[in-house]
Amino acid sequence: MKEVTSKQQLPSFKNILESLKERRAKDYTFTTLFFVIFSIFIFFAIKPALSTALNLSKQEAELIAIDKKYELLIGQIVQIQSALEEVRDKLYLIDEALPAQPYLNVIMSDIQNSASKNNVLIRKINVQRVNLVESKKDVFRSMIVNVELGSSFEDYVTFERDLIRQRRLKNIKSVIIDREDLGSGSATLKIKTEIEGYYL
């Protein structure tokens, strides 16, 4: 039998330390390499995917908010259409109240009808002004008719009330009331009034 030398049998402390260092170095190298590769994987693969997912989530929330706004607007449009259908048969009333043209003859006829209905005498009637030019500040255009009347106070009040209640939109701009000749003893008043009629 051969004798085994102490060098061959037992590894030296130095060899053991070197082998441990090599193993640790390999382990550290492997671990470091693993973390570097894992970090690169996270940075290039997972981070963009997470970023895309967050962006998609944000876009989804924005689209849901926009969808709710559009649903609300569509609901309002449906309500407006329903209301329009309900009043479609009465739209002619708007045209009669605010026609597209001045139609002076209609205003004159309205004044004459109210006067004859309420026992009011028309002494003089003339058109003072017709506004034919559209203005940006005014929604409606207008015309002014000057009327001189003879009437009792009560009859004039009913005349004015009747005139305002007609379909055509009108406004009494001014009223000047005088007595007839004091010596005549008549209860008839001399009334000057400006009537403004509107149109589009």
Residues written for the chain: 200
Residue showing tokens 């940006």: 136
Same domain, yes or no: 103 and 51: no
Rounded Cα distance, 108 and 126, in Å: 9
HSE-CB for 95 with a 13 A CA cutoff: 5
We report the CATH number of the domain holding residue 143 as: 3.30.70.60
**pTM exceeding the 0.75 threshold for the entire prediction:** no
Q: Which domain range does residue 115 map to?
A: 98-199
Same domain, yes or no: 74 and 121: no
Same domain, yes or no: 128 and 58: no
- 168-188 tens-digit pLDDT: 888 889 888 888 766 555 678
For the ranges 4-18, 67-81, 83-97, the maximum mean pLDDT occurs at 67-81
Taking each helix axis from N to C end, the angle separating 104-117 and 153-165, rounded to the nearest 10 degrees, works out to 140
Domain final residue pick, 60, 95, 130: 95
How many structural domains comprise the chain?
2
Same domain, yes or no: 116 and 161: yes
Same domain, yes or no: 104 and 190: yes
Same domain, yes or no: 48 and 8: yes
Same domain, yes or no: 82 and 143: no
Same domain, yes or no: 51 and 108: no
- 140-153 tens-digit pLDDT: 788 888 999 988 88
